[in-house]
Amino acid sequence: MNFLETHLPGVILIEPDVHVDDRGFFLETYQSKRYSGGGITADFVQDNHSNSPRDTLRGLHAQLENPQAKLIRVIEGEALDVAVDIRVGSPTFGKFFATRLSSENFCQLFIPEGFAHGFCVTSAVCQLVYKCSNFYDPESEIVIAWNDPDIAIPWPVDNPRLSERDAAGRPLRDLGERLP
């Protein structure tokens, strides 16, 4: 199992050990001692599961008063998964890390508190599951515009399927008064 640091401090790409034979495959998707040794010490309290068709873009979401660390993986299909540093004063504030997560590569992405998260489905359908270190708190949530020009994420779609909430996202610079 490999825990790979990214250019955003605390954002970790996990390459699990996958055991494949003629019966299929087996892998550990979380084991607290092993993940703690890889730098992931979050205490997870909630699991989420989404199912979305191609070109769906969810995000960019974060909770401010009750921040969530997330451990994300795809169990069907593929998505471009993105973390954005929203920690005011951080040398990487407003910078992003993006990676493809898929049911074929088995990789996971750990996003610590202080980051926004979003993803875009690049396969016919995608099922994404993730652990959260805090409970969902809609009063604490912010939505950053998926196409914020200051962040400039190279999404794989120009005209994504968006929820009303995500379509109304605001640029990160407009959220400054709410950021920690």
Task: Give the active site residue among 7, 30, 130, 136.
Answer: 130
Cα gap 11→62, rounded to integer Å: 15
| CA–CA distances in Å: residue 100 to residues 73, 106, 122, 123, 175 | 10, 10, 9, 11, 28
Catalytic, 61? Answer yes
Cα gap 120→80, rounded to integer Å: 5
CB proximity list for 159: less than 8 A, separation 6 or greater? 55
Active site residues: 61, 130
